[in-house]
Amino acid sequence: MSSTPLTPNTLERLLAPYLAPQRELTESKLRLEERPRLFSQLERYLELLLRWNQKTNLTAVRDPEAIITRHFGESLFAACTLAPHLAPGDTVLDFGSGAGFPGIPLQLLLPEVHVTLGESQHKKAAFLREALRTLDLQQTAVHGGRIEDLPQGITFQAVTLRAVDDPALAEQLATKRVAPGGYLLSLHGGEGGQDSKIIPESRNRFVTLKRL
């Protein structure tokens, strides 16, 4: 377990590489959350995650610093990548959200979009609802069921995928929920492609953004 104090300043230092693509953010039409408030909210999110993770298996990563870089960092990098393609009021579906990655950090950084956290496992969905209450994310929703159970015709400007059980099936289902001209964003290991960016501080972790 890391002995690093879990302060907003610590989070800002550890997350700096993932928030580096300022060009993408300056091209965005969205208002970004102010840095001091962003890192304060992430600190509260981390504290809640660590507390729940003692009883509920939300993430196999236990070290706070590793959670900050692997989960928070990847999610914020994904948000930076997606930001130029979103406008105020756009909707984002986080497919198989788990403990809220990348959906909650994305919502924290980009408060003008509306994120739906899709999670079918009851305990994880309960954690997501508690996280939304703790962080006062009133523009965020939890869909506590399978994505297939959403009413037909409901689509989103962007759908995100990360650490899903069956990537091929998940991508097939997620694609159906992307609005025409919208975006599918996946965070994954292995090899990147033409639409991929390597995630900072990693050798084989990528963000891939496709327009559909």
C-alpha dist (Å) from residue 109 to 8, 101, 170, 177, 191: 14, 13, 25, 23, 27
**What are 117-149's pLDDT values in tens digits?**
999 999 999 999 999 999 999 999 999 999 999
| Residue found under tokens 């037909």 | 152
3-state DSSP helix/strand/coil % of the chain, to nearest 5:
45, 20, 35
Per-residue pLDDT in tens (0 to 9) along the chain, 212 residues: 444 567 889 999 999 999 976 567 777 889 999 999 999 999 999 999 999 999 999 998 989 999 999 999 999 999 999 999 999 999 999 999 999 999 999 999 999 999 999 999 999 999 999 999 999 999 999 999 999 999 989 999 999 999 887 888 999 999 999 999 999 999 999 888 889 999 999 989 999 999 99
Domains of the chain: 8-211 (3.40.50.150)
Q: What pLDDT is stored for residue 163 in this prediction?
A: 82
User: What is the Cα–Cα distance from 63 to 194, expressed in whole angstroms?
Assistant: 33
